[in-house]
Structure formats: structure tokens, C-alpha cells
């Protein structure tokens, strides 16, 4: 790992000031992606701004039919929250499936979505539930937040404050985890809010998480298993690597969609 | 360099460290607590698991400076003098180790698993061991050891 400066901050304003003062800085939240990346010398920021101790970013609350989660809340806290288990069980299940227990004790929801790894789980929940993301500058819909592979709408001096998930009980997430990393080989999040159906896919596309429009339409027209089965994801633009071909991944997404649908209707 | 002050196995430590130093290297090289192992160095194997403020973490994926002001427990801090911790005792009784390299991480993970789960069955233990690898593949007895320890704790 290359040398860097380290700055622990106590407030959001302090973090933003540091980002402005040194544009070659990176925000360190849980560090479960950033530190391994720096160890491999794939990243070499001049300064790390450690936001893990900003108290105002670590919370879970319910507010006008939404569950709002502060950005430095770790995966274990989300998966074990009684409030989330009761209101959006699909979200606690998703958090419980990230990495392993030791990683879940450190990794944060804000870090996961800001990194926008194309195989990460949380981006699927954000898109699949229609979450709103509050940053130090503005509020963005999940649709506007996730741009492409490891790319978000966040500006250089902007950090995520919280994520607001609408309470939609009829929702489910199913992924086929890579047996080594537990990252999604393909993961599908489905939610149904009256007639509004959202379907998000992670782990599959070369451009990162996306909404599966054909599947949404099919399920909006007719909420049935046959509707899910009638839609097949094209393998065009789907990732292909040592873990699986694009055809294999596209088929996995089809299967995960069926299982997620069944999960909602159980 | 940054000053790190923390408590490890009940002892207070105050030392300057390089910002890029990993917690595991601080523990092993600076504090000479070599029970915590570096296995894969890529956050997969869990040989480096220690408890930071009561939570199991992979010390190869955390900076020493991040652990400033924390309370750390390593494998050396579990036993009470000559009396082994119930999990250590259970690993001995149930032949829960072969070469022993993964054992410190397995035991630190096991203590965390038992602390978080009032009732432990085999399926739960196997799922909870997701982040710990045993290259001897001695999982049968590791799982047996953890269940046996949970019944005594």
C-alpha cells in the first residue's frame, strides 16, 4: 500500500471541507472495498477521510412511511434491526447476505452504494424499492444516482448522508452468490406497490445495476409466474468472465427473477 | 505517522504508526502478539479475525489508525491465565484443529457467533463460518467444537 495521510472527521461539514481542501482525497467508511483495493495498489489516494465516527450518519429510523438509514450504518446493524425486519424484511435479508459476518461488521450502506460495484447487493435494493438518496448537497432518486460501472452521480466533494426506502412489504431479493466472494453472479430485486412494479438487476450488466423494463411491464400487466417466465434477459451487454459467460449470467437472472417473484408470494 | 492509543487484551498501548499500517501488522509486528495470523491477506480466509469493541473484524482489512481509541481482544486475550476459554477448551476436546493455522481466527469468530446467537444449530454455525477458511478442511470438528462450546457458555 502506498503512503497516504489519514484524517478522522466528526461531522459531515468537516468531511466536505477536507474533500474541497484536497481533491485527491478519498472517503473511508467501512473500508471493505477501499482498503483491499489500496493494498493491491489499484487506488492510491493522497488522503483518507475517515467518516466512520460521524455520529449523525449512523442511524435507522421510520419517517412518513419510509425507512431511513444513515450512510455509515453497517450491514450487521441493518440485518439485525427489528424495525427493518418488520417493515422491509427483504432489505434485512439482503444485508444478511453480504460478504461474511466480519465484513458485515465493518462495511456500510453508504460505502456500498457510493462505490456502485456492478455485483453489489444494495444498489439493487435502492433501484428495486425506488429509494431516495440524500447527499451533502441534494436529494437524488436511485434512478438518477446510479450511472454506470463504479460510477454514481456523486460529485467530487459530495457525500451520501442517508438512504430513504419506501416501506413496501411486497418485495424480495434473490441472488446467486459467487461461492468465494458472495458477490452476486446475478441478483434480482422485485417490489410491488399496488400496481407499481419495480425490478432491478445487479451482478449481470457491464454497466452495473439496472431496471429490467420488460419484466416490469410484463408483471404490471399480469402479476403471475407465467409473466415472469415469459421474459428472458438478452445476453447482450451482460458480463462475461472466468466465473461465467454472458449467456450463463443472463439465464441466472431469469431464474433469480422467478425465485424472487416466488419469494414475494410465499 | 499517527499516534494510536488503544487497549488490547486489557493492556493500554500508545504508539506512533504509519498511516498505511494494517491492524494485523500492528498487532503482530509492533505488539508481538503473533497468535493472530495473516492467511490470504485478501479478506477471504479469516485467520486474522480479532474483536474490535466486541465485534469480530478482519484485521488485515482495517488500518491500525482506524482502531484508535478502541478495545481489542486477540486470541491471546481469551484464556484466564492457565484456564482456557470454553471455546478453546472445546476445540481441544473435539479435535477442532489439524495444522492449527486457521484456529485463532476460527476461535475468535466462534466466540462472536456464540455471543450473537442464543441457540446454535449446525446449519447456523456453518453459515456463520462463511468468512473463515480451513485449508485442512477440518470443518466437521470445528462445527462440533463450536456447538459443544455454545452449550457450556
CA–CA distance, A5 with A149 (Å, rounded to integer) = 28
- pLDDT at A179 (0 to 100): 85
Confirm whether A220 is domain-assigned.
yes
Q: Do A35 and B68 touch (CB under 8 A)?
A: no
- pLDDT at A31 (0 to 100): 97
Chain A residues within 8 angstroms (CB to CB) of chain B = 1-6, 8, 28, 31-32, 35-36, 38-39, 48, 50, 52, 76, 99-103, 105-106, 180-182
Tens of pLDDT along B45-69? 999 999 999 999 999 999 999 999 9
Confirm whether A10 is domain-assigned.
no
Q: Do B61 and A50 touch (CB under 8 A)?
A: no
Pairing between β-strand A184-193 and β-strand A196-202 as defined by DSSP bridges: antiparallel
Confirm whether A187 is domain-assigned.
yes
- pLDDT at A236 (0 to 100): 96
B110 CA to centre of own chain: 8
Confirm whether A232 is domain-assigned.
yes
Confirm whether A13 is domain-assigned.
no
**What does the block give as the cell for A197?**
412494479
- At residue B118, does pLDDT exceed 90? no
Q: What is the ipTM of this complex?
A: 0.96
Instruction: Show the domain range for A221.
Output: 171-265
Confirm whether A238 is domain-assigned.
yes
Task: Give me the phi and psi of A192, to 5 degrees please.
Answer: -130, 115
* Percent of chain A whose pLDDT exceeds 90: 97
Q: Say how many domains are in chain A.
A: 1
CA–CA distance, A230 with A142 (Å, rounded to integer) = 27
* Domain locations along chain B: 2-76, 86-152
Confirm whether A34 is domain-assigned.
no
Tens of pLDDT along A25-56? 999 999 999 999 999 999 999 999 999 999 99
Closest partner residue to A35 (CB to CB) among B18, B61, B130 is B61
- pLDDT-derived band of residue B79, with 50, 70 and 90 as boundaries? very high
- At residue A254, does pLDDT exceed 90? yes
- At residue A174, does pLDDT exceed 90? yes
- pLDDT at A182 (0 to 100): 86
Confirm whether A154 is domain-assigned.
no
Q: Do A32 and B113 touch (CB under 8 A)?
A: no
Tens of pLDDT along A91-136? 999 999 999 999 999 999 999 999 999 999 999 999 999 999 999 9
- pLDDT at B103 (0 to 100): 98
CA–CA distance, A129 with A191 (Å, rounded to integer) = 6
Average pLDDT of chain A to the nearest whole number: 97
Assessment of whether the complete model's pTM goes beyond 0.90: yes
Average pLDDT of chain B to the nearest whole number: 97
- At residue A210, does pLDDT exceed 90? yes
Q: Do A3 and B65 touch (CB under 8 A)?
A: no
State how far the alpha carbon of A103 is from the alpha carbons of A28, A98, A254, B62, B128, in Å: 15, 8, 29, 10, 12
- Do B2-76 and B86-152 agree at the fold level? no
B151: Cβ contacts below 8 Å, ≥ 6 apart:
none
* Percent of chain B whose pLDDT exceeds 90: 97
- At residue A139, does pLDDT exceed 80? yes
CA–CA min distance B82, chain A (Å): 29
Tens of pLDDT along A237-247? 999 999 999 99
Given a contact cutoff of 8 angstroms between Cβ atoms, the answer to whether B124 and B99 are in contact is no
Give me the CATH number covering residue A199: 3.30.390.50
Pairing between β-strand B11-17 and β-strand B49-52 as defined by DSSP bridges: unpaired
- At residue B1, does pLDDT exceed 80? yes
- pLDDT at A266 (0 to 100): 75
Under CATH, which number does the domain B86-152 receive? 1.10.150.120
**CATH H-level superfamily of B2-76:** Beta-grasp domain (3.10.20.30)
CA–CA min distance A79, chain B (Å): 13
B80: Cβ contacts below 8 Å, ≥ 6 apart:
none
Of the candidates B42, B43, B25, B21, the one whose C-alpha atom is nearest the C-alpha of residue B34 is B25
Comparing alpha-carbon positions, the chain B residue that sits nearest to A8 is: B66
Amino acid at each position: 500500500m502506498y503512503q497516504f495521510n489519514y484524517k478522522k472527521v466528526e461531522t459531515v461539514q468537516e468531511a466536505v471541507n477536507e474533500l474541497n481542501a484536497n481533491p485527491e482525497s478519498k472517503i473511508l467508511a467501512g473500508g471493505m472495498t477501499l482498503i483491499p483495493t489500496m493494498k493491491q495498489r489499484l487506488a492510491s489516494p493522497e488522503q483518507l477521510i475517515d467518516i466512520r465516527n460521524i455520529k449523525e450518519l449512523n442511524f435507522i429510523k421510520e419517517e412518513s412511511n419510509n425507512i431511513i438509514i444513515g450512510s455509515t450504518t453497517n450491514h450487521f446493524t441493518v440485518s439485525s434491526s427489528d424495525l427493518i425486519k418488520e417493515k422491509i424484511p427483504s432489505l434485512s435479508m439482503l444485508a444478511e447476505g453480504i460478504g461474511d459476518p466480519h465484513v458485515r461488521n465493518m462495511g456500510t450502506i453508504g460505502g456500498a452504494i457510493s462505490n456502485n460495484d456492478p455485483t453489489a447487493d444494495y444498489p439493487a435494493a435502492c433501484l428495486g424499492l425506488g429509494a431516495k438518496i440524500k447527499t451533502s448537497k441534494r436529494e437524488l432518486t436511485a434512478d438518477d444516482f446510479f450511472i454506470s460501472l463504479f460510477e454514481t452521480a456523486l460529485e467530487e466533494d459530495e457525500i451520501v448522508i442517508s438512504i430513504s426506502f419506501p416501506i413496501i412489504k411486497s418485495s424480495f431479493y434473490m441472488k446467486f452468490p459467487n461461492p468465494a466472494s458472495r458477490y452476486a453472479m446475478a441478483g434480482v430485486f422485485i417490489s410491488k406497490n399496488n400496481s407499481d412494479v419495480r425490478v432491478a438487476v445487479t451482478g449481470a450488466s457491464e454497466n452495473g445495476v439496472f431496471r429490467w423494463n420488460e419484466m416490469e411491464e410484463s408483471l404490471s400487466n399480469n402479476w403471475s409466474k407465467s409473466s415472469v417466465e415469459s421474459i428472458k434477459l438478452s445476453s447482450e451487454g451482460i458480463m462475461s468472465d472466468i466465473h461465467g459467460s454472458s449467456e450463463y449470467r443472463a439465464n441466472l437472472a431469469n431464474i433469480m427473477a422467478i425465485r424472487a417473484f416466488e419469494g414475494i408470494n410465499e | 505517522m499517527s499516534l494510536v492509543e488503544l487497549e488490547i487484551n486489557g493492556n493500554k498501548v500508545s504508539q506512533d504508526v504509519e498511516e498505511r499500517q494494517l491492524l494485523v501488522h500492528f498487532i503482530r509486528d509492533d505488539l508481538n502478539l503473533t497468535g493472530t495470523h495473516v492467511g490470504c491477506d485478501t479478506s477471504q480466509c479469516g485467520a486474522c479475525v480479532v474483536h474490535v469493541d466486541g465485534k469480530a473484524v478482519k484485521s488485515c482489512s482495517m488500518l491500525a489508525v482506524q482502531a484508535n481509541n478502541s478495545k481489542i481482544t486477540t486470541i491471546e486475550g481469551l484464556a484466564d491465565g492457565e484456564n482456557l476459554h470454553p471455546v478453546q477448551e472445546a476445540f481441544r476436546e473435539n479435535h477442532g484443529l489439524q495444522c492449527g493455522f486457521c484456529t485463532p481466527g476460527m476461535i475468535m469468530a466462534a466466540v462472536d457467533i456464540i455471543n450473537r446467537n442464543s441457540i446454535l444449530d449446525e446449519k447456523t454455525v456453518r453459515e456463520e463460518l462463511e468468512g473463515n477458511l480451513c485449508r485442512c478442511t477440518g470443518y466437521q470438528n470445528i462445527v462440533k467444537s463450536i456447538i459443544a462450546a455454545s452449550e457450556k457458555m
